[in-house]
Amino acid sequence: MRPARALSWRALRPLASPPVGTFGLAVLLAAALGIAGCGGEVDPLDAARAASRDRDSTRAIGYYQQYLEENPDDYDVLKEYTLTLGERWAYDGGDRTPIIENLGRLYEMRPSDQDVQGLLAVMLVREGQAAAEAQRFEEAEQAFRRAIAVNPESGAAQYHLGILFAERGEADQAFAQYRAAAAKRPQIPDLYLRLGRAYLERGDADRAITTLGLVFELAGFSTYLLPAAHCSMARAYAARGMEEEAARHLDRAEEGCELDRSP
């Protein structure tokens, strides 16, 4: 039986919620996974890999399940199977639960596997986003906290946890999560807009200016954030008494943006 070749990753389907940043992680099977038959008898693992090579995920999943019934602790094959489920989900959507359950099992078996860490954290963030959109806040918080525990260096889960706290009116908790997320430097422009505004609300104009500057650096395709960022930057500069810089940003700010001119 020939071993599977190295794995790479295909982009995950995002939900229609705030971006997870460089959270652009992916799920992909190896481009060539060998098949060998003997005596006309189909080997389920070879058949699964051949179907994966042909991008026939339905057939591949069936053969992987057949193999894993007899070999439930084969880590590498369970990982291949889980990635195949993920590939089908990325194209067709559907229930993420089997993927998360398998990734959780893989994580328990080998917690040092960075591929599994990253993908499990991303899928948990997706679960948290879906729960938050459905107003299931406790479930969302649990998903985000589990994602943080699995992959503490990501920052994306803490960003989303901060949004959850903000939606619940817990401003201090949201601020703490935004700061923790920003310390890991994820490329999520909305994070720095939210954190910059939070600094400004707390009277820290200098940190607000520095943080809001990252929105402009990282905006990329998120140009819809720029008018709001210009407004907050104008307010921060005005708070510092830097009227020329404030006016420059105010000219490019969102409609209705006003500066606080109170003494």
User: Treating both helix axes as pointing N-terminal to C-terminal, what angle do 114-133 and 75-92 enclose, rounded to 10 degrees?
Assistant: 40
Q: Whole-model pTM above 0.85?
A: no
| CA angle, 178 then 146 then 116, to 5° | 105
Q: How far is CA 73 from CA 76, 96, 100, 104, in A?
A: 9, 21, 17, 13
pLDDT tens-place string over residues 29-54 = 333 333 444 445 789 999 999 999 99
pLDDT at 22 over 90: no
pLDDT tens-place string over residues 200-249 = 999 999 999 999 999 999 998 889 999 999 999 999 999 999 999 999 99
Which of 25-29, 67-71, 96-100, 127-131 is the least confident region? 25-29
> Domain spanning 8-185: which superfamily?
Tetratricopeptide repeat domain (1.25.40.10)
Domain boundaries, the chain: 8-185, 188-263
CATH domain 188-263 topology: 1.25.40
Give yes or no for a contact between 85 and 61, defined as CB atoms under 8 angstroms apart: yes
Which amino acid would we find at residue 241? G
